[in-house]
A and B are shown apart, each in its own frame.
Chain A
Amino acid sequence: MLPAYPYLILSAVLFTTGTLGVLIRRNPIIMFMSIELMLNAANLAFITFARYQQSMDGHVFVFIVMTVAAAEVAVGLGIIVAIFRLRGNINVDELDEMKG
């Protein structure tokens, strides 16, 4: 079996990419995809640890995280569509009515 660290490094890279995406990009759909990337980084970490610790728990958690991610997609895209209908664009920099 391969050692665990290549998977963990990949997972850390995915997580960092996702975090940077949320912080840097200004399109809510891209930001949202970055959040999904972070969740999948966690999934990869769960699977790796579960495989190398010979325990089933981690495999189950992945399903829980995937379910939550699907529920988030439903609500998130709903909000984005509602905003697009009212404004005609979805740039987050224009969502600046409230300040202070």
Chain B
Amino acid sequence: MTIPVSAADWIVINTELILVGTAMIVLLLDAFNRRISDRISPWITLVGVVGGLVSLGFLWGQEYTGFAGMLVIDSFSVLVKMAILFGTGLAVLLSVDYLRREELAQGEYYGLLLLSTVGMLLLTSSANLIMIFLSLEMLSIALYVLTGYARMRPRSQEAGMKYFLLGSFSAAILVYGVALIYGALGTVDLAGVAEALTAPGILSNPVLLAGAGLVLVGLGFKVAAVPFQMWTPDVYEGAPSPVTAFMSVSTKAAAFAALTRVLVFAFSDLSGVWMAVIWAIAALTMIFGNLVAIAQNNIKRMLAYSSIAHAGYILVAVASANQLGIQSIPFYLIAYTFMNIGAWAVVTVITRKGEEGVGLSDYTGLFWRNPLLAVSMGLFMFSLAGIPPTAGFTAKIYLFMAAVNANLIGLLIVAVVTTIISAYFYLRVTVIMFMHRPSEVSAVHVPIAAYVAIIIAVVATLWLFLFPNSTQAFTEAVWRMGL
């Protein structure tokens, strides 16, 4: 038996192939010569990530379907993949000196990071529910290991265990949902599902509804939406900071791409049912994330709850399910990637060996200790709060406009009120950094690679505010995509 593989198939997975190749090089190098691998594996990884971005540039504006409809390339997936690769690249820059400081092995870390990225890239391209399950597991299994990577630090282990148990629990729920959908419709292909749903009387099939609900629960776990968010704070706190930076942006981007594809494109005929559910989940997620973040004195936990809240904002765009909403999702994900990784970069730099120094008090008078770091952190906090002149402001404006167009006034009010509440805890960090003088002024040592990551994030955060039109052509193409 031969399996036919066409040219289009290779094109669809070329970004993934580049990253898998890089991961293999990194892993083999680590096996043969650990000393050399410790020195150069981060830079090999970066070359691979940049290569992936270049290959995405070539794919821009084109549409391909590969592997019998399992994977698709369209503007939506290319944009989200860019967000994911930006996240990976910046996380690599943060990891170089972090791993040295914590005395952790380098080679396998980058191999796992790359393989997890490959899972995310496949997830954004998946046009089949079983492919969604497979790529979700691919990204998760590598992330379980990365979360528990500092295996001599009890908190990292605890985070790894919690993430593993709840992550595979949610995956099992998802795959059972897929099985039920397969039973009800006879297909798990997203385009096939959309077609099967047009048959009369199918929409009230209880097996179908149960299956769709279970799939929604499984994806809800991955994007950390309330009430499936309970793992997030512990995992984000316990995992090594660069890993948290990576998973808070890239996993979220990939999971939202899959959620959007499933809900808006495959189950659009079922929107009468899921619209109300997503409405409620979005409102709860925004309220819960922002309110609990206020009470946090640990900056990693605060950012974890802030990440839950941002999932709620993106769900507003999913709920509006109109042209502007779908366009604003990739824009929001890209903006969120830069501002959130920037904030985590500052956290990574400020923490000391063994992840000490994560309290808000450790940021007292940062401006006098390292002005550049304090100003960058201030900018990221403004951006996360949605205050101009930052990317976060532009991204929120798009979201709110989408909600207005979809007539989701109630949800819009919740979003605006929670945004105002969120300003309190984001600005509190800024106040602590600028208004309180430290008792003793000790300089903060910032490694060069981390500086580069922070500066890239600052420039991108400002750029997306000043020139949102530079991405408009991108996001406008998104709507025209098929499945």
In the complex, the answer to whether B176 meets A15 with C-beta atoms within 8 Å is yes
B78 to chain A, nearest CB (A): 26
In the complex, the answer to whether A98 meets B141 with C-beta atoms within 8 Å is no
With an 8 Å Cβ cutoff, the count of chain B residues facing the other chain is 43
Residue B467 is within 8 A (CB to CB) of chain A in the complex: no
Chain B residues with CB below 8 A from A18, complex form = 172
Contact of B237 among A53, A79, A98 (CB under 8 A): A98
Of chain B, the residue at the smallest CB distance from A18 is B172
Residue A13 is within 8 A (CB to CB) of chain B in the complex: no
Chain A residues with CB below 8 A from B152, complex form = 86
Q: Interface 1/0s, chain B 139-171, versus A by CB < 8 A? A: 001001100100110110111111011001101
**Partner-binding segment picked from B179-187, B394-402, B451-459:** B179-187
Chain B residues with CB below 8 A from A75, complex form = 141, 144-145, 164
Per the bound structure, the CA–CA distance linking A42 and B295 in Å amounts to: 41
In the complex, the answer to whether A79 meets B164 with C-beta atoms within 8 Å is yes
In the complex, the answer to whether B155 meets A97 with C-beta atoms within 8 Å is yes
In the complex, the answer to whether A57 meets B298 with C-beta atoms within 8 Å is no
Residue among B165, B172, B183, B233 with the highest chain A CB neighbour number at 10 A: B172
In the complex, the answer to whether A45 meets B180 with C-beta atoms within 8 Å is yes
Known contacts A35-B168, A64-B134, A82-B148; A28 and B161 CB within 8 A of each other: yes
Per the bound structure, the CA–CA distance linking A71 and B188 in Å amounts to: 23
In the complex, the answer to whether A41 meets B176 with C-beta atoms within 8 Å is yes
Chain A residues with CB below 8 A from B182, complex form = 45-46, 49-50, 57-58, 61
Q: Interface 1/0s, chain B 203-234, versus A by CB < 8 A? A: 00000000000000000000000000000011
In the complex, the answer to whether A97 meets B154 with C-beta atoms within 8 Å is yes
Q: Which of A8-38 contact B (CB under 8 A)?
A: 8, 11, 15, 18-19, 22, 28, 31-32, 35, 38
In the complex, the answer to whether B168 meets A100 with C-beta atoms within 8 Å is no
Q: Interface 1/0s, chain A 39-68, versus B by CB < 8 A? A: 101110110111001010110010011001
Per the bound structure, the CA–CA distance linking A53 and B173 in Å amounts to: 23
Chain B residues with CB below 8 A from A28, complex form = 161, 165
In the complex, the answer to whether B165 meets A32 with C-beta atoms within 8 Å is yes
Contact of B158 among A71, A97, A100 (CB under 8 A): A97
Known contacts A49-B183, A71-B137, A72-B137; A98 and B158 CB within 8 A of each other: yes
14 sample A-B contacts, Cβ–Cβ < 8 Å, listed by A number: A8-B183, A22-B165, A38-B176, A39-B172, A53-B183, A71-B141, A75-B145, A78-B145, A79-B148, A80-B161, A83-B158, A86-B157, A97-B238, A98-B238
Starting from the known contacts A79-B144, A87-B154, A95-B158, 19 additional A-B residue pairs (CB-CB under 8 Å) come to A8-B183, A28-B161, A35-B168, A35-B172, A41-B176, A46-B182, A49-B182, A71-B141, A76-B164, A79-B145, A79-B148, A79-B161, A79-B164, A82-B160, A86-B152, A95-B162, A98-B155, A98-B234, A100-B298
